[in-house]
Amino acid sequence: MAINADRKEHPISMRLPEADIAMIDRAAGLRGRSRTDFVREAAVRAAEDVLMENRLIRMSAEGFAEFMAILSAPVAAIPEMVELAKRSAPWEPGYIAKKAEP
């Protein structure tokens, strides 16, 4: 009599070009991970991203009206963000790094 045990893990098989395998192995090595671990993590992360992009958000008509009112309200400037936006980027000529305040 055969015993059916519930599998906790399921194999996935892929055929990849040698160049792809080399790149995956190199990246996995830089992370200190096995190829399997690296590919599994990358696939799960990509799947989560897709599922989150397609997530339906439900709210009442009153909740939606409040949400839209908040989005439509005038914004208040945040002085630190304004100052940051005015700074030159490190790769631009004339860049001067701001010293940290003690």
Model pLDDT for residues 43-60, shown as the tens digit of each residue = 999 999 999 998 888 999
CA distance 33 to 42: 12
Radius of gyration of the chain (CA): 25
CA distance 49 to 85: 29
pLDDT of residue 86: 87
Mean pLDDT to the nearest integer, 82-97: 84
pLDDT of residue 99: 62
Model pLDDT for residues 21-40, shown as the tens digit of each residue = 999 999 999 999 999 999 99
CA distance 55 to 73: 26
The first and second tokens of residue 27, run together, are: 């990246």
Cβ atoms within 10 A of the Cβ of 54, count?
A: 7
Residue 16 has pLDDT above 80, yes or no: yes
